[in-house]
């Protein structure tokens, strides 16, 4: 459902007025539906001379059945413009970006994609190449802010040797699954993990745990992981038992009533997962609370409650599930923490919440290297303004500002966060770890 402003400015006098006043007219975003192809229109592919990713990109695009145009071809409304910039070795070479995108960017289809691929600057062969590769970030972030009509921009920094891990992030960036992700940088490292046998059900035969699953984002994450084939253990506090059981029934999963802050919660959870499922493959830490007050007015109870649920419980549970001689989280496992753009940019009234959410970023960065040899990845997603009960409770004016202050001029939906979680949870995403993926429509906050 579009929000009221979006409906008002979509057509008729509202549209005319918005155009005259230069107000944003948010495009209804195309979201993924089962059976929908990765791309529905032609993909224009280009690259700087000497790049190393055109070959792997052609293979991925062929595999998803894309109609690929190259060279002087000019498809009328390309669904995506994809450029391999790994061959850019100095700042003069950046001109290739202008040459490829400038004549084409205005013909990009609504909800189209602008995708640039580069090399992580620290892996570049020379100082000049590192400079040029770092420049790609400014280019993509600015392009994301200029694109109109629901189109988005993505930068994938692919380390040498990680070409085989390219398919999952390219599919995500090109597809409607990344509808509310724009202006973000994802690093892809070499990894052993095998691609899913069936991209429509990448989590078949896997067990996923989702905390805070009775409503909001967590409920949709549970449903989305179930759609992708996982058997889902839906966890929430006992007070939410009825709603939790309804979600578990909808996704053919299991309801587990547990307060994640209870002293024995990590052990209870580990015992349950081992006994009932022999272990777990995907852990999504989604349970979270806010207790907003400016610092001078914040009592210790508000501080403690937020830190306990959002951060300490996540640390304790992750520790319990990933350590020991035979860890409950199986090899090739996935941990996804739910951070927030507040944890990146800070937010007035949220010193407690932002501290907890920034702490989660510290957690994924600290844990990722140590778990890499078991094929386990640990990442965070950082939602921006997502339309849920949590944001419905925000005062009207702040809510309206939060909703519009991003490149897509609209709030995201729980499913946008869920698709990002599903992408990171996929066996194909083994090259992505220790990172934070923002799902925020390129929010100005923390940009």
Q: Where does this chain bind ligand NAD (CB under 6 A)? A: 211-212, 214-218, 236-237, 240, 259-261, 286-289, 309, 338, 340, 383, 385-386, 388-391
* CB of 446 vs ligand NAD, minimal distance in Å: 11
Which of 101, 139, 303, 353 is catalytic? The answer is: 353
* CB of 49 vs ligand NAD, minimal distance in Å: 42
Q: Which residues contact 277 (CB under 8 A, 6 or more apart)?
A: 207, 231, 233
353 carries an active-site annotation? yes
* CB of 139 vs ligand NAD, minimal distance in Å: 27
Buried b (16+ CB within 10 A) or exposed e, 362-379: ebbbebbeebbeebbbbb
Residue with Cβ nearer ligand NAD (177 or 215): 215
* CB of 389 vs ligand NAD, minimal distance in Å: 5
How far apart (Å, rounded) are the C-alpha atoms in residues 431 and 424? 10
Q: Which residues contact 241 (CB under 8 A, 6 or more apart)?
A: 255, 257
* CB of 25 vs ligand NAD, minimal distance in Å: 23
Q: Are strands 207-211 and 184-188 parallel, antiparallel or unpaired?
A: unpaired
Known catalytic residues are 353
């Amino acid at each position: 459902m579009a929000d009221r402003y979006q409906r008002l400015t979509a057509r008729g006098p509202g549209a005319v007025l918005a155009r005259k006043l230069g107000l944003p007219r948010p495009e209804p975003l195309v979201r993924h539906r089962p059976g929908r192809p990765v791309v529905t229109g032609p993909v224009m592919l280009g690259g700087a001379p000497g790049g190393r990713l055109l070959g792997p990109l052609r293979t991925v695009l062929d595999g998803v059945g894309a109609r690929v145009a190259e060279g002087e071809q000019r498809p009328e409304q390309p669904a995506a413009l994809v450029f391999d910039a790994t061959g850019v070795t100095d700042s003069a070479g950046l001109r290739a970006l202008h040459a490829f995108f400038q004549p084409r960017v205005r013909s990009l289809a609504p909800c189209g994609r602008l995708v640039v691929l580069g090399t992580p600057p620290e892996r570049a062969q020379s100082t000049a190449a590192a400079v040029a590769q770092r420049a790609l970030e400014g280019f993509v972030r600015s392009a994301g802010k200029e694109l109109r009509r629901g189109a988005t921009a993505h930068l994938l920094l692919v380390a040498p040797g990680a070409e085989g891990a390219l398919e999952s992030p390219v599919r995500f960036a090109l597809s409607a699954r990344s509808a509310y992700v724009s202006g973000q940088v994802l690093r892809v490292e070499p990894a052993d993990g095998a691609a899913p046998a069936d991209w429509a059900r990448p989590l078949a035969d896997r067990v996923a745990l989702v905390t805070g699953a009775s409503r909001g984002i967590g409920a949709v994450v549970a449903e989305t992981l179930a759609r992708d084939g996982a058997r889902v253990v839906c966890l929430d506090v006992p007070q939410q038992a009825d709603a939790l059981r309804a979600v578990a029934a909808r996704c053919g999963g299991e309801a587990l009533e547990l307060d994640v802050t209870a002293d024995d919660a990590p052990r209870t959870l580990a015992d349950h997962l081992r006994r009932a499922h022999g272990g777990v493959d995907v852990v999504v830490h989604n349970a979270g609370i806010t207790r907003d007050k400016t610092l001078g007015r914040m009592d210790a109870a508000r501080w403690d409650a937020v830190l306990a649920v959002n951060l300490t419980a996540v640390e304790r549970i992750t520790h319990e599930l990933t350590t020991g001689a035979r860890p409950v989280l199986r090899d090739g496992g996935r941990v996804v923490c739910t951070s927030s753009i507040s944890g990146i940019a800070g937010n007035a009234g949220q010193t407690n919440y932002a501290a907890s959410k920034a702490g989660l970023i510290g957690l994924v960065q600290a844990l990722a290297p140590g778990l890499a040899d078991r094929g386990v990845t640990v990442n965070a997603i950082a939602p921006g303004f997502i339309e849920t009960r949590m944001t419905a409770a925000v005062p009207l004016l702040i809510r309206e500002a939060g909703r519009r202050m991003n490149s897509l001029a609209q709030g995201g939906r729980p499913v946008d966060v869920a698709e990002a979680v599903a992408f990171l949870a996929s066996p194909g995403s083994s090259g992505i770890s220790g990172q934070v993926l923002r799902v925020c429509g390129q929010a100005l906050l923390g940009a």
